[in-house]
Amino acid sequence: MSRLLHRVAAKRRFEIFSRTVAAVVGGYAFASLFVVAVSISSRDARADAVLTGMMTSFVVYVGAFLWCFSASSALRAWLGLLLCALPFAAAALSASRSVW
Amino acid sequence: MNGSFFRSMLWLHGWAGLLAGWLLYAIFLTGSATYFRSEISHWMRPELGFTADAKDDAQIADAALRRLRAIGGDAERWRVTLPNAREPATEIHLWRKSGKEPSFVHEWLDPATGAPSPARATLGGDFLYYFHFDLRMPSIWGRLLVGFAAIVMLVALVSGVVAHKRIFADFFTFRPDATRQRAWLDGHNIAGVLALPFHLVITYTGLVTLMFLYMPWGIHIAYQGRAQALLAEAGVVAPTPAVSDPAPLAPIALPLAEARRRWEGGRAGVIDIYRPGEIGTLIELTRDASETLAYRYDKLRFIGPDGRSIPQSPPSSVVATQMTMYGLHVGRFADAALRAGLFVCGSTATATIGTGLVLWSVSARRRDTSRIGMFLVERLNLGVIVGLPIAVAAYFWANRLFPSASPDRLLGEPMMFFSTWIAVFLVSLLPWRRAPWAPMLVVAAGAFAALPIADAAAYRSGEIASYDRVFLGFDVTMAAIGCAFAAIATKLREERPSAKIIDQTPKREFVP
């Protein structure tokens, strides 16, 4: 019984650690991809696009952060983050191809 | 996590609040004080008075430009910040071309003569201003820490609101005579909800002021990392002129008069001169910050040698939004009454964070928290919540206690701030049976309430040039802060015998 409790506690600790990394690091990476995608969204108003991306990025970061702690499991938190990041990552990749 | 959404959010609110709370308390306290940055500076330079005969801006600017020329060297850029209703002295900056030393000169000048100001060399309110966002740490580390704390603050605000099913009912609930935990919780909720829009706006706009540091990835991909190129394209900064042949500068009165006409009586607050003394010299005037909501937004550019204005298109609405956010954060548009209101809001935010920290340690008694953990949280709470105000008071005291011509002042005053803070930490970490809240609060009360007495002494000795409304306001505020600390100390003393929840840990008393 005590061994079981111990395992539950260890699992919970790992869950919290994983969620924290997802929120702090994953959330920032997600917000960064969002910024890149917004920045390259307009060629004519480049400066406006970059500034808009930067200004709105913190909402995205905070949203991702909260998602990581409200998802029902750490795995779902990571998967949700990755899924939402896909379109931004695709946009960023296609842009970097056209730049270089 | 934790079974339900609400419980997850409550859990997140608690832990995020605890871990960033101490830092956030320091950021919000010094930030609130920064609303009175100019007034604090004025109080800390008592030799300067507001001159009765307000001189013409053009004459003041000319005097400042003479001083900049006298400093000489190969200047890349000059900046003159004209005195205004809040700041009695002219401020000048000089940036030298790369490779020349010293690369940067900063001076306060007497507006009439352009000679270096006779005032004592103190950082004044600027110290609290810089501490507020860089914690006086080297390089960018302080700014990064502050930025991360701001994100956690937003997380704590949102999670606190969502976790709160009956937020409006609780807003009208204050039970100071209920159990201690309940009273702290009510206080935390009221302070948090009362100024919630302020908390959200000030935190978000704070992130926007440093967004070039926090989120540079768009600049990397669209401008190859050259932030100056982005700012120039957005019309925020003037494009740097190329090196050209020497040429004298047109009288500064021309651009100043043109600015007054264009801004319909509005006044230039800052004069930037890029590559002074060349054919390509560029003069840029920025409207006085008290006249616009958007910060450093209204700008006019002129050709250096002949003073003709350079036509430019107005900045885009995105730039306007950014500068308005900036302006909302720094609050330079606010008059004295509104600024006092903003200060109250900032203090409310500080109180929300402070009560939240106390609440954590009070409720930790009910939870399964380790003894050493509880000891540390409670003592760190004391060292930050009461220790930081004591350190600020010590910073003010240092200004009056150092001899007025002391050359060590520039370093000595901040040293006094940090050493007092460390001293409070060490004292509170001593193995007292209970954290010495009441004695520390009494120290804080005394340190603030006695500042007006120091002022009276300085006034009698002739150290204060003219005891104007700024000094009166400062002294009244210090006395009020002292009284507030005394009131909290009395309340704690009164309740000690009955308050078993906060002041005693009956089962597991910590006796080192």
The stretch B400-421 carries a mean pLDDT of 92
* pLDDT-based confidence at residue B321 (cuts at 50, 70, 90): very high
ipTM over 0.90: yes
Question: Tens of pLDDT along B110-131?
Answer: 998 999 988 889 999 999 999 9
Question: Tens of pLDDT along A27-71?
Answer: 999 999 999 999 998 888 999 999 999 999 999 999 999 999 999
* pLDDT-based confidence at residue B499 (cuts at 50, 70, 90): very low
Give me the residue label for tokens 């000169």: B105
pLDDT at B510 over 90: no
Distance CA A3, CA A5 (A): 5
The stretch B155-170 carries a mean pLDDT of 80
Question: Tens of pLDDT along B56-80?
Answer: 899 999 999 999 999 977 889 999 9
3-state helix, strand, coil in chain A (%, to 5): 90, 0, 10
3-state helix, strand, coil in chain B (%, to 5): 60, 10, 35
Q: Which among B215, B223, B326 is the top mutation candidate for probing chain A, defined by the most A β-carbons within 10 Å of its own β-carbon?
A: B215
The contacts of residue B411 (CB under 8 Å, 6+ apart) are none
Q: Tell me chain B's radius of gyration from C-alpha atoms.
A: 26
**Do residue A54 and residue B212 have CB atoms under 8 angstroms apart?**
yes
Query: What H or E segment, with its residue span, contains residue B25?
Result: helix B5-34
Distance CA B312, CA B305 (A): 19
Q: Which residue of chain A has the CA closest to B155?
A: A62
Q: What is the pLDDT of residue B167?
A: 61
**Do residue A53 and residue B212 have CB atoms under 8 angstroms apart?**
no
Q: Establish if B309 belongs to a structural domain.
A: yes
Distance CA B276, CA B270 (A): 15
Q: Which residues of B touch A71 (CB under 8 A)?
A: 1
**Do residue A62 and residue B158 have CB atoms under 8 angstroms apart?**
yes
Higher pLDDT, B402 or B239: B402
- Enclosing domain of residue B299: 48-118+240-314
Helices (H) then strands (E): counts for chain B: 21, 6
**Do residue A39 and residue B5 have CB atoms under 8 angstroms apart?**
no
CB neighbourhood size of B402 (10 A): 17
* pLDDT-based confidence at residue B166 (cuts at 50, 70, 90): low
Q: Which residues of A touch B207 (CB under 8 A)?
A: 58
Q: B442 and B343, same structural domain?
A: yes
pLDDT at B380 over 80: yes
Q: What is the pLDDT of residue B1?
A: 65
The stretch A78-99 carries a mean pLDDT of 86
**Do residue A62 and residue B154 have CB atoms under 8 angstroms apart?**
yes
**Do residue A35 and residue B217 have CB atoms under 8 angstroms apart?**
yes
* pLDDT-based confidence at residue B168 (cuts at 50, 70, 90): low
Q: What is the pLDDT of residue A86?
A: 96
Among A35, A53, A70, whose Cβ lies nearest the Cβ of B9? A70
Q: B487 and B373, same structural domain?
A: yes
Distance CA B433, CA B439 (A): 13
Residues of chain A that touch chain B, judged by Cβ-Cβ distance less than 8 Å: 15, 19, 31-32, 35-36, 38-40, 45-55, 57-58, 61-62, 65-66, 69-73, 92, 95-96, 99
pLDDT at B497 over 60: no
Least confident of A76-80, B161-165, B402-406, B456-460: B161-165
The stretch B356-362 carries a mean pLDDT of 91
* DSSP tag of A24: I
Distance CA A79, CA A30 (A): 12
Q: B415 and B281, same structural domain?
A: no
pLDDT at B53 over 50: yes
Q: What is the pLDDT of residue B511?
A: 31
Q: B341 and B199, same structural domain?
A: yes
The stretch B314-340 carries a mean pLDDT of 95
pLDDT at B91 over 70: yes
Q: What is the pLDDT of residue B289?
A: 93
Q: B83 and B99, same structural domain?
A: yes
Residue B177 three-state SS: coil
Q: Establish if B161 belongs to a structural domain.
A: no
Q: Establish if B126 belongs to a structural domain.
A: no
Q: Which residues of A touch B154 (CB under 8 A)?
A: 58, 62
Q: B77 and B59, same structural domain?
A: yes
Closest CA to B333 of B93, B79, B84, B128: B84
Question: Tens of pLDDT along B254-274?
Answer: 999 999 999 999 999 999 999
Q: B495 and B431, same structural domain?
A: yes
Distance CA A18, CA A22 (A): 6
Q: Which of B255, B285, B314 is the last residue of a domain?
A: B314
Q: Which of B265, B280, B314 is the last residue of a domain?
A: B314
Q: Which residues of B touch A20 (CB under 8 A)?
A: none
pLDDT at B501 over 50: no
Distance CA B491, CA B354 (A): 17
Closest CA to B63 of B121, B119, B110: B110
Residue A72 CA, distance from chain mean position: 17
Distance CA B43, CA B49 (A): 10
CB pairs under 8 A between A and B: 100
Q: Which of B253, B279, B314 is the last residue of a domain?
A: B314
Q: What is the pLDDT of residue B496?
A: 57
Domain count, chain B: 2
- The first and second tokens of residue B172, run together, are 């009208």
pLDDT at A99 over 60: no
Residues of chain B that touch chain A, judged by Cβ-Cβ distance less than 8 Å: 1, 5, 8-9, 11-12, 151, 154-155, 158-159, 204, 207-208, 211-212, 214-215, 217-219, 221-223, 230, 233-234, 316, 318-319, 321-322, 325
Q: Establish if B493 belongs to a structural domain.
A: yes
Q: B298 and B417, same structural domain?
A: no
Q: Establish if B510 belongs to a structural domain.
A: no
Minimal CA separation from A4 to chain B, in Å: 18
Q: Establish if B229 belongs to a structural domain.
A: no
Distance CA B230, CA B239 (A): 10
Q: What is the pLDDT of residue B97?
A: 85
Q: Establish if B129 belongs to a structural domain.
A: no
Question: Tens of pLDDT along B105-115?
Answer: 999 999 989 99
Q: Establish if B214 belongs to a structural domain.
A: no
Q: B52 and B189, same structural domain?
A: no
Q: B364 and B301, same structural domain?
A: no
Q: Which residues of B touch A92 (CB under 8 A)?
A: 221
Q: Tell me chain A's radius of gyration from C-alpha atoms.
A: 17
Q: B300 and B416, same structural domain?
A: no
Q: B189 and B57, same structural domain?
A: no
CB neighbourhood size of A58 (10 A): 22
> Which string of DSSP letters, residue by residue, matches B261-327?
HHTTT--EEEEEEESTTBTT-EEEEEE-GGG-SSTT--EEEEETTT-PBPP-PPPPHHHHHHHHHHH
